[in-house]
Structure 1
Amino acid sequence: MAASVADQGVAAFTNIVVLVVAARLSSAAGFAVFSMVYMVFTVLLGVGVSYVGQALVLERGTDRVRAACRSAAAFTALASTVTGLVMAAVFGLVGHGGTARGLAVLGLVLPVVLTQDGLRYCFSALRLPHFALAGDTVRLLAAVPALAVQPDGAGPERLVAVWGLSALPALLVAWALLRPRVRGAALDVGRYLRRGHLGRRFVVEFGVGNATSQLAVVGLGLFAAPLAVGALRGATTLFGPMNVLFNSATAFGPPLLNRVRGAAAKVRVTAVLACALAAVAGLWTLVLTVLPARAGHQLLGATWEPASALLAASGSQYAAIALGTSALLTLRVLQPKATLPIQVVFSLASVACMLAGYRLDGVYGAAWGLCVGSVLKAAALWRRIAVLRRGPGPARDDADGAGDAGDGVLTAGSSGGPG
């Protein structure tokens, strides 16, 4: 568990540092382009994690796990290569402007970054999280210096290329650690294309939970205000430590929560967790608010000004996300099938709130719109928990959730961030 939490922290810290260094090296407009490209990568990564990784960690049995890991690694490498080549061809030949060029470069490095991240889930399934930690540590130690030596004013295409290629040492280390443990195992790439593959369901959940809002922000940048994406992404970067806590709670909460007897006790535990995470979000917002402007510029460069104006809205949103994450964790244990309808409805509502807020008050209104959407989703999730507690069914049984323990880890380690 310690190695898994540390791996989550290292992976999240790498994302934070990459964005911070890119912001310091870029102009506000350049960082906006880099942010849009990085957000597209985040969506593609979330799809890959959902389709391959989350199904992989549910495998049981030594031989089945070894075969599944070998097949997952091969499928991820193949699928990311095909996707990357298509992206490079489409945006390189047809697209125009900095964003299109950045997406074309992303296509070229996509097989490296997606395969490297995908191997983390192989180690998770093999119960070797310290190997994932080793690979992600190499990733951090390679990416930060590679980006730091780039000249001021480096274009987003160059930064994307350097960031992507810096994952190559980590990929080689991870593959060297994985290969002896899957050598001789059955290889069946076609399993991921067959009907009934669990990853399809998980992609739907990711799509409505995370990707919808992320793609809406990308669309906002493409069709309305590119600088808005940089400001929103900059504010999100400042709250990166909260994402580590959310991902850790999602990853390790279900198996720990299933040790608690009784639905009422489970709800009490997650309610305390919700209050604790919300309090941490409030304290972190206060720290960022009193941060001197000079220190802020050291972190985000020219992006600090527009990002710092969103601290109140983003801090409130993260407090709401804390409440929603804890409620989602509760439902994952009590009634896993109850989460998808709420994710669908309120993720779309969050996008609508963001767009309405942008129309009313620009990027500042968009940030508050995202906050309102998160509040509505958290309220709906806790209301569903209250209904389960009042009504008959497994949620009232002292042995509740035991049959759903596997489903409770479906979002473990997700890199997409909060929806």
Structure 2
Amino acid sequence: MRKRSRGTHRRGRLAELGGLRGAVAVSAADQGVAALTNIVVVVVTARQSTAADFADFAVVYTVFALLLGAFTAYLGQSLVLRQGTDAELRRDCRSSVTVTLAGSASVGVLLLLLAPLAPEFGALGLVLPILLTQDGMRYAFSLLRRPGLALTADVLRLVVAVPVLAVQPDGAGAARMVVAWGLSAFPALLLGGALLVWVTRGAGLPFAEARALVADRRHLGRRFVVEFGVGNAGSQAAIVGLGLLANPLAVGALRGASTLFGPLNVLFNAATGFGPPQLNRLPGGAAKARAAFAAGGALAALAACWALVLALLPDVAGRQLLGDTWRSASELLPATGSQYAAMALGTCGLLALRVLNPRATLGIQLVFSALTVVCLLVGYALGGILGAAWGLCLGSVAKATASWARAALEVRVTYARPGPDAGPEGVAG
């Protein structure tokens, strides 16, 4: 009986690991499809625009990235850390999507007021609820361990977006491209909504939970959005400031260079959004940290290889991708490639902290994100656009180092205590 029990346990562990690998693969594929859609938007716009016109589009796109990051931090990143019964998780998913729809519509109305002065921002306001709500469903499906449903909706979005963007005429303005991009996501929004209603059937109307999600001062999303505000948003806002107050071409060059590393953003987003449920299956803090570090090392090596591939890309092929923006963006590839290698380690360091102690990341984001902004601005003052790119790299290196130093401390101190392995504090908040 004992041998049979051990064999059954071993087979169960193997099946669990196989399911974990499958879920990770599907989640990564889903992020790949979603990111490819966004890359197509940027590449097509760059090919059809002058460097100056693309710089204007890049400012609007960066604003969208800020809004997407804020909603993801408040709702998505906190959602995938939730724990509870199946019924509770289904209600949490519905309430998160409901708040995303209502909140993005409110922000969209504010952007529409800017349409007379800046049509591009008005166009973004028009399609913002579609884009953000469709993206937010991905985290709900992750929590429910149904990433295949998110992949289905995102494949539809890509299939619709490519022909819609391809038929836009040469010289189409940023406003028209944004509208085409947003409306092409509407079929995926309808499909994702229908699938979410089906998989959360019986959860009821989530209005009470949605109100609590906004009003609860202990909600981890508030902490995460502050981290985003002083983290990614800080550097993104500094880049926007360069475009508005100094040199718009700097924004276009930085956006073009980062677009070329879009495949890596796919994996970073997959790690941040869908890593916690997978790491939480591993026993002990040390195992969680080792898995996150292994993922970070693999992503850093991939970033270095991808940077080498782009550096060897002929100018003819580069111009096919980014048009007139290629010349300035190609000069930033060594700095941007180094930055992405550091970002890979930093992203997985913060991921480890999210599952070890989610309240330990705010201090790192506050200090080292502010340092990144300073490095960006000082680099631009000393060396122009290239100096700004190396400044971003230096800030990413510092943040990655601090993240893993704190993760190692958490493993030694928190998880070395006797007694059962405690989970992250406040994940249900």
Which AA in structure 2 matches 1:274? G
CA distance in 1, matches of 2:247, 2:394: 21
In structure 2, relative to structure 1, the CA distance for the partners of 1:364 and 1:398 (3 Å cut) is farther
Indicate if the aligned counterparts of 1:394 and 1:401 stay in contact, CA closer than 8 A.
no
Q: Give CA deviations for 1:216-259 in whole Å, capped at 9, x if unaligned.
A: 11111111111111110110011111112223333454455456
Q: 2:185 aligns with which of 147, 162, 167?
A: 167
Q: Give CA deviations for 1:77-134 in whole Å, capped at 9, x if unaligned.
A: 2221121111111x124x3xxxx22111101111111121122223223332211111
Which residue is 1:85 aligned to?
109
1:20 aligns with 2:43: yes
Give the deviation of 1:207 after TM superposition: 1.6
CA distance in 2, matches of 1:264, 1:64: 29
Q: Give CA deviations for 1:180-234 in whole Å, capped at 9, x if unaligned.
A: 3445513313223313233212211222222111111111111111111111011
Which residue is 1:140 aligned to?
158
In structure 2, relative to structure 1, the CA distance for the partners of 1:406 and 1:173 (3 Å cut) is farther
Counterparts of residues 360-375 of structure 1 (less than 5 Å): 360-375=382-397
Give the deviation of 1:358 after TM superposition: 0.8
Q: TM-score, normalised by structure 1?
A: 0.88
CA distance in 2, matches of 1:258, 1:66: 19
1:108 aligns with 2:130: no
In structure 2, relative to structure 1, the CA distance for the partners of 1:29 and 1:276 (3 Å cut) is same
In structure 2, relative to structure 1, the CA distance for the partners of 1:399 and 1:230 (3 Å cut) is farther
RMSD over aligned Cα, in angstroms? 2.5
Give the deviation of 1:376 after TM superposition: 1.3
Indicate if the aligned counterparts of 1:263 and 1:397 stay in contact, CA closer than 8 A.
no
Which residue is 1:415 aligned to?
none
CA distance in 2, matches of 1:253, 1:68: 19
Indicate if the aligned counterparts of 2:372 and 2:391 stay in contact, CA closer than 8 A.
yes
Which residue is 1:45 aligned to?
68
Which residue is 1:63 aligned to?
87
Which AA in structure 2 matches 1:76? T
Give the 3-state SS of the residue equivalent to 1:396 in structure 2: coil
Give the 3-state SS of the residue equivalent to 1:92 in structure 2: coil
1:306 aligns with 2:324: no
Which residue is 2:232 aligned to?
210
CA distance in 1, matches of 2:276, 2:75: 20
1:120 aligns with 2:141: no
Which residue is 2:250 aligned to?
228
1:291 aligns with 2:313: yes
Q: 1:5 aligns with which of 28, 41, 46?
A: 28
Q: Give CA deviations for 1:155-195 in whole Å, capped at 9, x if unaligned.
A: 11111111111111111111222233445513313223313
Q: Give CA deviations for 1:32-90 in whole Å, capped at 9, x if unaligned.
A: 1111111111111111122222333315323223333333333222221121111111x
1:239 aligns with 2:291: no
CA distance in 2, matches of 1:387, 1:64: 33
Deviates more, 1:52-61 or 1:366-375: 52-61
Which AA in structure 1 matches 2:93? C
CA distance in 1, matches of 2:299, 2:386: 24
Give the deviation of 1:140 after TM superposition: 0.7
Which residue is 1:346 aligned to?
368
Gaps of 5+ in 1: 411-419
Give the deviation of 1:400 after TM superposition: 8.1
Q: 1:394 aligns with which of 399, 406, 414?
A: 414
